Amino acid sequence: MLFLVRMDVHLPTDMPPEQANEIKDREKTYSQPLQRDGRWRHIWRIVGEYSNFSLFDVSSNDELHGLLTGLPLFPYMDIAVTPLAHHPSDIT
Amino acid sequence: MLFLVRMDVHLPTDMPPEQANEIKDREKTYSQPLQRDGRWRHIWRIVGEYSNFSLFDVSSNDELHGLLTGLPLFPYMDIAVTPLAHHPSDIT
Amino acid sequence: MLFLVRMDVHLPTDMPPEQANEIKDREKTYSQPLQRDGRWRHIWRIVGEYSNFSLFDVSSNDELHGLLTGLPLFPYMDIAVTPLAHHPSDIT
Amino acid sequence: MLFLVRMDVHLPTDMPPEQANEIKDREKTYSQPLQRDGRWRHIWRIVGEYSNFSLFDVSSNDELHGLLTGLPLFPYMDIAVTPLAHHPSDIT
Amino acid sequence: MLFLVRMDVHLPTDMPPEQANEIKDREKTYSQPLQRDGRWRHIWRIVGEYSNFSLFDVSSNDELHGLLTGLPLFPYMDIAVTPLAHHPSDIT
Amino acid sequence: MLFLVRMDVHLPTDMPPEQANEIKDREKTYSQPLQRDGRWRHIWRIVGEYSNFSLFDVSSNDELHGLLTGLPLFPYMDIAVTPLAHHPSDIT
Amino acid sequence: MLFLVRMDVHLPTDMPPEQANEIKDREKTYSQPLQRDGRWRHIWRIVGEYSNFSLFDVSSNDELHGLLTGLPLFPYMDIAVTPLAHHPSDIT
Amino acid sequence: MLFLVRMDVHLPTDMPPEQANEIKDREKTYSQPLQRDGRWRHIWRIVGEYSNFSLFDVSSNDELHGLLTGLPLFPYMDIAVTPLAHHPSDIT
Amino acid sequence: MLFLVRMDVHLPTDMPPEQANEIKDREKTYSQPLQRDGRWRHIWRIVGEYSNFSLFDVSSNDELHGLLTGLPLFPYMDIAVTPLAHHPSDIT
Amino acid sequence: MLFLVRMDVHLPTDMPPEQANEIKDREKTYSQPLQRDGRWRHIWRIVGEYSNFSLFDVSSNDELHGLLTGLPLFPYMDIAVTPLAHHPSDIT
């Protein structure tokens, strides 16, 4: 079941760089197994913004919520979730 | 080069069904070769709305504009284009 | 899997009353088996508006999209879907 | 008398975790008798957000306001209240 | 129980004046007994707009919804309802 | 001359309670003679929010501005003023 | 007593030009005595829009409402009124 | 003196194609001498939309307003004007 | 050349009063010669807000930008500029 | 390939002036080779705001994202990117 997720990151500008880097490293580490097992199917940077659009493939709303709130950057992000369905023109 | 495109369709409620169907058929036909050659990489329905999110992979802004304005439903749609870049956490 | 759905109805003010009533009757008929089998768990009128908040319990995004686009009033509605998850304070 | 309430929580990102946990614990404790006596009939988490939709069943606007401002998280929340009425299609 | 209600009227500009006047007359007639029995406690015009703010005093959400949807201008209005509570600084 | 005024209070969450209470006490004290002499004709709490709708009856824009900027909570509020006129359906 | 008023005109694009011109002529005629007696102190066109900002000097909200609703273009305009007060830096 | 202008075109979907083409032809003809004499310095299509961003170089607000309201598409456009100034980092 | 300018002031609530007063004094001093030489033709307070609408008469966009960024309160203000043109109904 | 970029700068009002100046100097230095090699083709100040509109000419979305996130002011800016295409009326 697919969901498009937009994440906008707002780190405080006075956060020490080493702390910011530590969180970003954990974020990257956190995302990798999810990308590998197919649940985090795509992640794209939005040009010019500290934001991304991501495509998730999960089996329930609860699973998606668990994945998102587990993100190390979660306390610093605005997240918007759009549930997706099969499109009748889709040939895949 | 990737772009996320949101399309919201607003057909007049008094358009005769056969005319609406004829446009939708042409839309579907129009999209198929673009999906096959990889330029229209994804199309997803937004749940509960007559709208879609699509992912395009084109070589220029002009190419994308040409594809979108060629859509049979173009006169009836609001379209929003978001340019995408590689995300540093992307493992693909 | 729960979804909160807001529906805002915009019937053209020049639609003949018998046509409007016929659509509303079909809408009511359409909703009843869905309420009975538990997929349309709640429907509440928003005070002062021709709108409702509804709670759906379905097994997938695709199922929800199918139910919503099948509504006789679908062409006349703006619909917004919010996916819901279990809340940790919920005692039920 | 039913009201749909949306609550969005904005804890300062520099609040010490023990303080945040203490407030959340009090919030949970506060909500339980209200859920049990039927005034706080539902609470659902919004997927991907530190927010909830809740359904309250109270006998007056004043009672609802008292319940909401008594929430330990009240100073950290944006709250939006929508009064609900019986919907003519509701079969319950 | 008090509610502040904002009503914005949008009559089609091509509605024949006699039809518009007939609706407005019925609206006025409809409002008078409600003003007299205290349920429609105030009605004020918003300067420069075909809109009003009104104060209603009713015993339930359902009663208010019934009053509002019975307005002859209801099909031509956008209505927003705000539930009110006692204010601790109110000396009355 | 009537004005509807909406006030939304945003006290910093780290303001010491005694300071907050001192300001609120001064606010209450400030409002009482204005309520008594009829210039601050109504004040209602908005359910679920630290906000109010108030009705002022003053003889000029300058008088209203003076009353509002004199509020002890003024530096912490967003204020929106709507000028009101007599409504032709008003029977009072 | 001063008010800044923004007026945005939306004439239907299919209104016959002679009808549009007739309304605009009446609008111009209507405005001239008001400009001369000082109640409509300024009128400026907003660059690129069929809109204006105007400054009115009237003795009450009711007087302003009467002037604005008497405009021949009133049924085709969105109007927003901002009450103004003396500014302490104003040297006039 | 530079101004950035955004124009969004909304032709009625039921306008006969020959009429639409005739207006667009006049629009193109209208724009060419302005582009040649340097007052309409740039015109760019916004990808996916029937809209453009344009850069105008004129000697006054009145001149710009005259140019824009003379556009054959003016009755069908929403126009937003942003005045520009020299930027201190500009090396030209 | 006329411009309507809206300025909204947002002083930090924890700025020491003497610092705030010192900035406001410099603001007042700064504005006076501009008012006298006719470039800052009007300044009006917006009722209930720490904001003003001002009318500037300058010979270029660059001149206006220089005047506005020179304001002692500039770092604490949101400013919106609307270019104005002669209105055909203006009799002055 | 052209992109219109709007940048809004929000420096904290309590940042020491020497730190702000140091960042602005680096910003200026950063922009100069990009302006010279034609990738940052235009930069204009928005009148009355600490903001600019810029025109970039790059060969890909990724190149643009790299240029923008490299800006010394990037952590303090809101950036919005609009992809542009050739306009059929453009005579250049």
- In chain F, the residue whose alpha carbon lies closest to the alpha carbon of G58 is F60
- Which residues of chain G have a CB within 8 Å of the CB of F1? 60-62
Range G39-45 contact pairs with CB under 8 angstroms and sequence separation of 24 or more: G39/G63, G39/G67, G40/G67, G41/G2, G42/I90, G43/I87, G43/I89, G43/I90, G44/I2, G44/I4, G44/I84, G44/I85, G44/I86, G44/I87, G44/I90, G45/H65, G45/I84, G45/I85, G45/I86, G45/I87, G45/I88
Backbone angles phi, psi at F88, to 5 degrees: -65, -20
In angstroms, what CA-CA distances link B51 with B48, E55, F42? 9, 39, 46
- Which residues of chain A have a CB within 8 Å of the CB of D44? none
- Which amino acid is present at H26? R
Alpha-carbon distance G64 to nearest alpha carbon in chain H (angstroms): 29
pLDDT at G36: 97
Task: Tell me how far apart the alpha carbons of residues G52 and G60 are, in angstroms, rounded to a whole number.
Answer: 22
Three-class secondary structure of residue B18 per DSSP:
helix
Task: Share the mean pLDDT of chain D.
Answer: 97
Instruction: Measure CB to CB from residue C83 to each of A81, A85, A86 and give the nearest one.
Output: A81
Summarize pLDDT for G7-37 with one digit per residue, the tens.
999 999 999 999 999 999 999 999 999 999 9
Task: Share the mean pLDDT of chain G.
Answer: 97
Query: Domains in chain I and their CATH numbers?
Result: 2-83 (3.30.70.1060)
Instruction: Measure CB to CB from residue I79 to each of J13, J45, J49 and give the nearest one.
Output: J49
For the residues E60-89, what does the mean pLDDT come to? Answer: 98
Q: Yes or no: say if I87 and G50 are a contact pair by the CB < 8 Å rule.
A: no
**Cβ distance of C81 and A83 shorter than 8 Å:** yes
Q: Yes or no: say if I50 and F77 are a contact pair by the CB < 8 Å rule.
A: no
Summarize pLDDT for C18-52 with one digit per residue, the tens.
999 999 999 999 999 999 999 999 999 999 999 99
**Cβ distance of B45 and A2 shorter than 8 Å:** no
D92 pLDDT more than 90: no
Q: Yes or no: say if E75 and F29 are a contact pair by the CB < 8 Å rule.
A: no
Task: Tell me how far apart the alpha carbons of residues F67 and F43 are, in angstroms, rounded to a whole number.
Answer: 14
End-to-end CA distance of chain A: 15
Sign of torsion over alpha carbons J21, J27, J28, J30: positive
- In chain F, the residue whose alpha carbon lies closest to the alpha carbon of E28 is F89
Token code pair at residue B75: 């006169």
Task: Tell me how far apart the alpha carbons of residues D82 and E82 are, in angstroms, rounded to a whole number.
Answer: 8
Alpha-carbon distance E45 to nearest alpha carbon in chain G (angstroms): 9
Alpha-carbon distance B47 to nearest alpha carbon in chain C (angstroms): 5
Three-class secondary structure of residue D32 per DSSP:
helix
Scored b (16 or more CB within 10 A) or e, B11-48 reads beeeeeeeeeeebbeebeebbeebbeeebbebbbbbbb
Q: Yes or no: say if A82 and B46 are a contact pair by the CB < 8 Å rule.
A: yes
I26 pLDDT more than 90: yes
Those chains having 3 or more beta-carbon pairs within 8 angstroms of chain G are: E, F, H, I
- CA nearest neighbour of I80 among H90, G6, H91, F61: G6
CA angle B14, B20, B24 (to 5 degrees): 150
CB-based touch I/C (3+ pairs, under 8 A): no
Q: Yes or no: say if G5 and G54 are a contact pair by the CB < 8 Å rule.
A: yes
Summarize pLDDT for H35-47 with one digit per residue, the tens.
999 999 999 999 9
Alpha-carbon distance G63 to nearest alpha carbon in chain E (angstroms): 9
- Which residues of chain I have a CB within 8 Å of the CB of F63? none
Q: pLDDT grade, residue C92 (50/70/90)?
A: confident
- In chain H, the residue whose alpha carbon lies closest to the alpha carbon of I61 is H85
Alpha-carbon distance I92 to nearest alpha carbon in chain H (angstroms): 16
Task: Tell me how far apart the alpha carbons of residues B43 and B31 are, in angstroms, rounded to a whole number.
Answer: 10
For the residues F49-56, what does the mean pLDDT come to? Answer: 98
Summarize pLDDT for H37-87 with one digit per residue, the tens.
999 999 999 999 999 999 999 999 999 999 999 999 999 999 999 999 999
pLDDT at H92: 84
Task: Tell me how far apart the alpha carbons of residues H22 and H28 are, in angstroms, rounded to a whole number.
Answer: 10
- In chain B, the residue whose alpha carbon lies closest to the alpha carbon of J60 is B1
Q: pLDDT grade, residue F69 (50/70/90)?
A: very high
**Cβ distance of H61 and I81 shorter than 8 Å:** no
User: Quick one: which H or E segment has residue F61?
Assistant: helix F61-69
pLDDT at J41: 98
**Cβ distance of E68 and C45 shorter than 8 Å:** no
Q: What is the Cα A84 distance to its own chain's centre?
A: 16
Alpha-carbon distance F4 to nearest alpha carbon in chain E (angstroms): 9
- Which amino acid is present at E43? I
* Residue I64 sits at the chain J interface (C-beta within 8 Å): yes
| Residues with pLDDT less than 70, chain B | none
* Residue E92 sits at the chain F interface (C-beta within 8 Å): yes
CB-based touch B/A (3+ pairs, under 8 A): yes
Query: Token match 């108030």: residue?
Result: F54
Backbone angles phi, psi at G84, to 5 degrees: -115, 155
Alpha-carbon distance B80 to nearest alpha carbon in chain J (angstroms): 10
- CA nearest neighbour of H47 among J78, A82, A42, B4: B4
Task: Tell me how far apart the alpha carbons of residues A41 and A43 are, in angstroms, rounded to a whole number.
Answer: 7
Token code pair at residue I60: 């270029």
Q: Yes or no: say if D45 and D52 are a contact pair by the CB < 8 Å rule.
A: yes
Task: Share the mean pLDDT of chain J.
Answer: 97
Those chains having 3 or more beta-carbon pairs within 8 angstroms of chain I are: F, G, H, J
Summarize pLDDT for I29-62 with one digit per residue, the tens.
999 999 999 999 999 999 999 999 999 999 999 9
Q: pLDDT grade, residue J92 (50/70/90)?
A: confident
- In chain E, the residue whose alpha carbon lies closest to the alpha carbon of G71 is E48
pLDDT at A92: 84
C55 pLDDT more than 90: yes
- In chain A, the residue whose alpha carbon lies closest to the alpha carbon of J67 is A48
Residue from J56, J61, J79 to probe the interface with B (highest B Cβ count within 10 Å): J61
**Cβ distance of I60 and H2 shorter than 8 Å:** no
Those chains having 3 or more beta-carbon pairs within 8 angstroms of chain F are: D, E, G, I
Instruction: Measure CB to CB from residue E47 to each of G12, G65, G75 and give the nearest one.
Output: G65
Token code pair at residue E32: 């008078």
**Cβ distance of A86 and C62 shorter than 8 Å:** yes
Instruction: Measure CB to CB from residue C85 to each of A62, A84, A86 and give the nearest one.
Output: A62
- In chain C, the residue whose alpha carbon lies closest to the alpha carbon of E62 is C47
Those chains having 3 or more beta-carbon pairs within 8 angstroms of chain J are: A, B, H, I
Summarize pLDDT for A13-57 with one digit per residue, the tens.
999 999 999 999 999 999 999 999 999 999 999 999 999 999 999
**Cβ distance of I44 and G85 shorter than 8 Å:** yes
**Cβ distance of C62 and A81 shorter than 8 Å:** no
- In chain G, the residue whose alpha carbon lies closest to the alpha carbon of I2 is G44
* Residue C13 sits at the chain D interface (C-beta within 8 Å): no
**Cβ distance of C83 and A62 shorter than 8 Å:** no
CB neighbours of residue I76 within 10 Å: 19
Task: Share the mean pLDDT of chain C.
Answer: 97
